[in-house]
Copies of this chain bind each other. A is one copy, B any other.
């Protein structure tokens, strides 16, 4: 592993609490650069920092990968990856038909040749990082408008990425923003594009408890799956090809079937997606009053529509499965966040901290005068977002919920962007991303279902009709104020458009914007009319981003002057480590949730009615106490899931749960309902993550479904 050592400015910012204070709290998604400073031993980890990440040799990190938006671990020398069922869900769904229902029945590849291609899945392994803050920020000039600032920074980041990829052929480069407007790091990844499905339990195991249990503890869900990464026969990254060979990771994780018990230290390595802990009270207010409630309303409605459509026809249900599951996940999380923010009084607490900071600034006006308007200016941005929020959020959903409009937007956007020089394009249309973008578009078109789409379009138009207008969007007003029935308008547009036809979309992908304009498809035509308004929205967002970028940069500066320690960058999809213990918590007075569930609890929850169905082979194995070597020594039964006080967020799905000696003992898949506000704030009292116990995984694969060759590969 190559490792570019740079004394990065963002490391200076990281004056980790552990150096000065006790290790009472486990908050912290530590960047791998921090391993030497956080006191691994004091936290109960028996590995040295360089055993986790080593600039000059192989280390644990070589066995961790990013699988699309999730995390995975290599668990064999032949590129076998363990991740969540919900991370492989899209591949399982895309491989399913009404005749061959991999969601319902699960999937076992009896031999390598039977493994199923997971279209549009990629795997990355972190290889190195370099601080590029000054390179990025040098392009921002005081005379720039905020929109210009954003565009300049974006362009600079893309240039750095392209240059790094040119220097490192086959690798993927990403410049990540660590502290907004302050620090930027270039990560280099090994990048694999041939990923295949190896094992998936039936969805009744993989998503046992469904949306009712999602974000909840106790849990009895076997949310795991096995995939495998492949390379070209020469070992280089390559697109799918039958002759490809399994990827040989530099390192894979040892699977420890002896498991864990309450009180044990565990840590996770993974790619947490996004947290917003360094944002202001005004941001929290916007989230609480505008964005989250709107999301809850829009998503719960769409989920209902998809469920209604799927209830009548299994093949429709399969088409909607991935999208519906993903919306449901966000919808419930958002509900949890609304409850949690209110309960924790997050806005009020941040206001108090900010009042203190403002007083500090005011008290040193000579020296800190330039920071005096930072907080009010940030507040003004969110205030404007609060006013425009309902309209903007609904406009964005108008080009997402009705899939035809989503396809139309992508086509128009792609045609427009492709006409620009590569580095000036929106990221999805850059040459390095274009094939993935178009592949995803075609996969989505394959899941299109007309009747649902008609209801989505009609529902969005009804909603937009009720929203007070702040500006004239002529192509929209024309439709919703035409006096014609909205249902009728939606029916006509959906029935006349050909964008549900993959061949037609493929054809459109080749056309220039002028050629698209000449097409008589009504969805495309309407989108061409709407497109300038969406562009205006995009520029508006970039302008805000530029403003916030500068303001948050200033805020971090002055906060540093006030409080000298405790800053960690928010999660941003880059590799992080988090440590915790297997431990209980008390969500409310007089209820304690203990940290290990067993197959007896699975039996207890099983009603035979969806989502609490347990397949017969599992029931039989439990009833006959056929536990193999996988029973928990103290409990005498196979453990199912467990709970631990690490600091995680979305993107940590599929992360290995690792014991003090660096062995894999579980796979992370969720948080508790109370921990949905982790994204805003972490709390030792109730922030808990949930993993499936590796003993349950091994038991399901080998004892229940007899795929012993796979567990042998994992335990070799």
Q: Which of B592, B598, B602, B643 contacts A594 (CB 8 A)?
A: B592
A590 at the interface (CB under 8 A from B): yes
Q: How far is the CA of A593 from the CA of B594 in the complex (A)?
A: 10
Most buried by B among A218, A589, A604: A589
Q: How far is the CA of A602 from the CA of B590 in the complex (A)?
A: 11
Contact B589 A592 (CB under 8 A): no
Contact A589 B593 (CB under 8 A): no
Residues from 175 to 193 in A contacting B, C-beta threshold 8 Å: none
CB distance from A595 to the nearest CB of B (A): 7
Q: Which of B220, B591, B594, B596 contacts A218 (CB 8 A)?
A: B591
Q: How far is the CA of A590 from the CA of B591 in the complex (A)?
A: 10
Pull 21 A–B residue pairs with CB atoms less than 8 Å apart, ordered by A. Answer: A218-B588, A218-B589, A218-B590, A218-B591, A588-B601, A588-B605, A589-B597, A589-B598, A589-B600, A589-B601, A589-B602, A589-B604, A590-B593, A590-B594, A590-B595, A590-B597, A591-B591, A591-B592, A591-B593, A592-B592, A592-B593
A208 at the interface (CB under 8 A from B): no
A552 at the interface (CB under 8 A from B): no
A224 at the interface (CB under 8 A from B): no
A217 at the interface (CB under 8 A from B): yes
Encoded as 1 (CB less than 8 Å from any B CB) or 0, chain A from 577 to 590 comes to 00000001000111
Encoded as 1 (CB less than 8 Å from any B CB) or 0, chain A from 95 to 128 comes to 0000000000000000000000000000000000
- Interface residues, chain A, CB within 8 Å of chain B? 217-218, 220, 584, 588-598, 600-602, 604-605, 643
CB-CB < 8 A to A597: which residues of B? 589-590
Which residue of chain B has its CB nearest to the CB of A589?
B601
CB-CB < 8 A to A592: which residues of B? 584, 591-594
Contact A591 B588 (CB under 8 A): no
Contact B590 A596 (CB under 8 A): yes
Q: How far is the CA of A643 from the CA of B589 in the complex (A)?
A: 13
Which residue of chain B has its CB nearest to the CB of A596?
B590
Q: How far is the CA of A589 from the CA of B588 in the complex (A)?
A: 17
CB distance from A637 to the nearest CB of B (A): 10
CB-CB < 8 A to A584: which residues of B? 592
Cβ-closest 4 pairs across A and B: A589-B601, A218-B590, A592-B592, A590-B597
CB distance from A536 to the nearest CB of B (A): 42
Contact A604 B591 (CB under 8 A): no
CB distance from A357 to the nearest CB of B (A): 27
Which residue of chain B has its CB nearest to the CB of A643?
B590
CB-CB < 8 A to A643: which residues of B? 590
Contact B588 A604 (CB under 8 A): yes
Q: How far is the CA of A601 from the CA of B220 in the complex (A)?
A: 28
CB-CB < 8 A to A593: which residues of B? 590-592
Q: How far is the CA of A602 from the CA of B596 in the complex (A)?
A: 28
Q: Which of B217, B588, B589 contacts A590 (CB 8 A)?
A: B217
Most buried by B among A588, A590, A596, A605: A590
- Besides the known contacts A589-B598, A589-B602, 19 further A-B residue pairs in the complex with CB atoms under 8 A apart: A217-B590, A218-B589, A220-B589, A588-B601, A588-B604, A589-B597, A589-B600, A589-B601, A589-B605, A590-B593, A590-B594, A590-B596, A590-B597, A590-B643, A591-B592, A591-B593, A591-B594, A592-B593, A592-B594
Which residue of chain B has its CB nearest to the CB of A219?
B590
CB distance from A655 to the nearest CB of B (A): 21
Q: How far is the CA of A596 from the CA of B586 in the complex (A)?
A: 13
CB-CB < 8 A to A218: which residues of B? 588-591
Q: How far is the CA of A595 from the CA of B591 in the complex (A)?
A: 9
